[in-house]
Chains A and B, each alone.
Chain A
Amino acid sequence: MSVAPTKMFGAAIKRREDPQLITGQGNYLDDIKLPGMVHAAVLRSPYGHAKILKIDTSRAQAAPGVVAVFTGADMMDINPLPCAWTAASGRVQNNINTPRALAVDVVRFVGDPVALVLAEDRYTARDALELIDVEYEPLDVVVDGRKAVEPGAPQLHENAPNNIVFEWDCGDKAKTDAAFAAAEVAVKEEIINQRLLPTPMETRGSIARYEPSTQEFTVWMTSQAPHVMRLLLTAFVFGIPESKLRCISPHVGGGFGQKIFCYNDMAFTMWAARKIGRPVKFVEDRSENFKYSTHGRDHITVAEICGTRDGKITGLRADTIANLGAYISTIAPGIPTTLYGRILSGVYKIPAAYCRVRGVYTNTAMVDAYRGAGRPEASYLIERMIDRFAAEIGMDPAEVRRKNFIQPEDFPYDNGLGLLPYDSGNYEPALDKALATIGYKDFRKEQEEARKQGRYLGVGISSYVEICGVAPSAWIGLPGEGWGAGLWESANVRVHLTGQVVVTTGSLPHGQGLETTFAQLVADELGVPYENVLVEHSDTAGTPFGYGTYGSRSAAVGGTAIHKSVTKIKEKAKKLAAHMLEANPDDMVYEDGKVYVKGSPDRSKTLAEIALQASVAYSLPEGMEPFLDETTYYDPPNCTFPFGTHIAIVEVDIETGRVDLLRYVAVDDCGPQINPLIVQGQIHGGITQGVAQALYEQAVYDENGQLLSGTLMDYAVPTAAQVPHYELDHTVTPSPVNPMGVKGAGEAGTIGSAQAVMNAIIDALSPFGVKHMQMPATPERVWRAIHSSNNHN
């Protein structure tokens, strides 16, 4: 279960993607111009909830430059967007309502699309929106998940009484209740994981073209999963053969989950392109991205933890309301269930745990996966509660962690929450390394000294574990997990007769540098120059079906599919070389791009020679097909479980409530790193999104359902001056799940970070009796916490 140390695997080489992107030669969606293309603009509901009484588009239709105007009523010949949640049976309710291309009769959140204008240019299309007259009858609005389930709350959908989408649970309720009843110490806290806006720097959009003679669509889309979009749009929305749609993701300017899903603009650009016989382009502006594209998080949880006075945790209980917005996005119910409840006990051996989750409708934008997706909510909760518990019993939070860690010999470890067993882990070395780097002991002294001078420093620890490479299909496809799909991945590897290697994969990058890492992998395994490996992706024409890139799955699942194909290529090459050398196939050795006869290395054939022979094919072994061409559909036996410890040091100015993040140390373990430069980049970016959640970001709706944080002026994505330098280190614990031992690194930073910062702030404020505070820790909130606590001195 290992690969030999080699030159490319593990090398921090710079990315092959970059020359195009640093010279302005990238090709993002909005850069694409098709002949005859029209521009789309969308009229959106200004109300959080209203009946549409009348839409008059006549003035807009008549405006010069306007090609057509459509409403939801025009598009009733296509279906609503699908949701992959299939938990229709048994104990799980399934009151799913998904959006249509344009709203019909009722709008349910501010930004719900009401009409579509197509015009010769983008300015004209925008202008025409103002010429559409809509009569609304406003209805009552509810935006808070807790209020949505109260009796008498405004109801969003007839089939969902009390606005409940589903009620779900995991763990052992009776055992957990008993643990709490018998506990020496129990702590209870309301933990809010606020709503966030994913904010990829490129907004979303689609360009659709229809060819009437063949009835074929081509759609360029800002998508993390073009194959899945093709399936959903043809089989579910349009009811046309899958072969009639080609989906292409050009360069994608960041995704973070928001670009996984099936969106209404994919449907309306397709519908309109077919209707008017011209290509249609739609690109969101930033405020549309904030109003309409999916949001993340938004949990309100009552959390309880219990244990002994000497620091053993004996029970964990959580009751969560997950606000899913006005409709259900593609995989929304899978996030606060499978990826949250099932990993809630984190890195700790907790004998009794139980979690109940209610997904609810509110008059807000849809919520779905955002970087980390469920796991940041889980790790924030458990890590905050561990600190709460430590404070309660007066024990050092590092010690409480150490005392309760799952031990190396416990793996594979079943956490009792219905997850597959954690694959591998060794949590203490990561904690120790992080403590040593930050200088924990010395810091405690420094903290004490500083307090005497009226300076408030704090340190916060977060030890996390997460779920990557979510699979296998036999588990994740079960009703109740919420996915309704397998999550395997595909790869085809071909060696052309020139010796050039072409890899096509269902994974696709939008910043992760997969062209580079995949080429590194293949170059090593085949022993060919890195430059000779071409990686193709992102176009449903020419790549095998794949589930796409999200959930930190591309190295562990996509990479393994490639690894397996390469292994098959090597096997075939050995057989063919034996035939060419008239040797016994069992005596052949593949090494450094050559096959030779064991014991006589000069009797050899290079991969290029073998590929040529396989291509011209005039002499092949009995029964062998021509060409070196192998495909793998890899369905892993388990997920992988990366982990680590992050530590933050903050200083709080108690006069103003301002928090300064002074130091940030992250020790992550994602198994062996294929390209450390790229892994570090992923961690840096991930941490920043978690730090942003702790300190800056929050999507805010007012009571009428207006999104107050509707632009980048109001939604505080941090700048370079608002985040610190990150001190990174790592440990390496290979995963037994796949042959390379890799685990995944795309989301770890986000999953590990918010609670490190919050724990540090609360540690800094402990002299004021502050025990918990909700995120983001804005100066106002911090100041209030200081001043509302009882023993303010």
Chain B
Amino acid sequence: MTKITVKVNGKEYTSEVEGRTLLVHFLRDQLGLTGTHIGCDTSQCGACVVVMNGDSVKSCTVLAVQANGAEIKTVEGLAEDGKLHPLQEGFWERHGLQCGFCTPGMLMSAYDLLQKNPNPSEEEIRHGLEGNLCRCTGYENIVRAVQYAAAKMRNEEPAPIGAKEQVVESVGS
């Protein structure tokens, strides 16, 4: 067992961990931060993405001991003072999630992306999220959600969804 100290979402935790404990298991099982998910065993899916010292990492591929002294942000730390982060707002507004299982990882990868590129093109968003799989949305609305957040974070008005797609059906015959 090794003693580690990690700052997660602004709060400092000191814990004993096994040398082989994965960061994702440390966050989920020891700190009870179950917002970070596990979707694979080969570092492909990105459900486990958190931001560590300013960069996104797959927490299933980092040992808890490697995080000693690090500063970590998880999905639980994204909203501040009870106010949703623009990315969270964007995912909600643009229907960027269905089952929600990939969402925490998507949010954290997108967070990293927008930190580094505040005005990404659609292609840059798609490439920036290549490490995260979503089986539900086909990514279309995830792209829109990130565009929405990017605009908001630049203090611009998010572009509306394409006219056809916004159609509100009038029902009846």
Contacts and interface: CB of A to CB of B under 8 A. Distances in A.
B2 interface: no
A479 interface: no
Interface in B134-173: 134-143, 164-173
Nearest to B142: A720
B36 A24 contact: yes
A253 B37 contact: yes
A53 interface: no
A212 B36 CA distance: 35
Nearest to A691: B138
Nearest to B35: A24
Interface stretch (A7-15, A109-117, A180-188): A7-15
A1 B136 CA distance: 33
B39 interface: yes
Contacts of B74: 24
A24 B35 CA distance: 4
B139 A688 contact: yes
A680 B97 contact: no
Interface in A392-412: none
A225 B87 CA distance: 33
A720 B35 contact: no
A213 interface: no
Contact of B170 (A10, A254, A513): A10
A117 to B, nearest CB: 18
Interface residues of B, number: 68
A650 to B, nearest CB: 17
B103 interface: yes
B134 A201 contact: yes
A729 B162 CA distance: 11
B102 interface: yes
Contacts of B100: 17-18, 21-22, 26, 251, 253, 511
Interface string B21-65: 100010010000111111111101101000000000000000000
A688 B99 contact: no
B172 to A, nearest CB: 4
Contacts of A21: 97, 100, 103
A504 interface: no
B138 A719 contact: no
B166 A12 contact: yes
Interface string B60-104: 000000000000001110110000100010011101011111111
Contacts of B172: 2-5, 672
B140 A684 contact: yes
Nearest to A673: B169
A690 to B, nearest CB: 10
B6 interface: no
A678 B96 CA distance: 10
Interface in A193-244: 199-203
A730 B171 CA distance: 13
A790 interface: no
B11 interface: no
A22 B169 contact: no
A337 B42 CA distance: 36
Contact of A22 (B21, B33, B91): B91
B42 A713 contact: yes
A302 interface: no
Contacts of A256: 135
B84 to A, nearest CB: 7
B171 A5 contact: yes
Contacts of B4: none
A286 B42 contact: yes
A725 B140 contact: yes
Contacts of A672: 169, 171-172
Contacts of A732: 169, 171
B163 to A, nearest CB: 11
Contacts of B143: 720, 725
Contacts of B37: 28, 30, 201-202, 253
A72 interface: no
B137 A685 contact: yes
B130 interface: yes
A56 interface: no
Given A12-B168, A720-B127, A741-B171, 17 more contacts: A5-B172, A18-B91, A23-B84, A24-B35, A30-B34, A254-B136, A511-B99, A511-B100, A511-B136, A676-B167, A676-B169, A680-B95, A688-B138, A712-B44, A728-B165, A730-B167, A732-B169
6 contacts: A5-B172, A14-B92, A26-B101, A251-B99, A687-B138, A711-B40
In the complex, the 6 A-B pairs of residues with the closest C-beta atoms, listed nearest first = A24-B35, A253-B101, A21-B100, A511-B98, A511-B99, A688-B138
Interface of B: 18, 20-21, 25, 28, 33-42, 44-45, 47, 74-76, 78-79, 84, 88, 91-93, 95, 97-104, 107, 122-123, 125-127, 129-143, 164-173
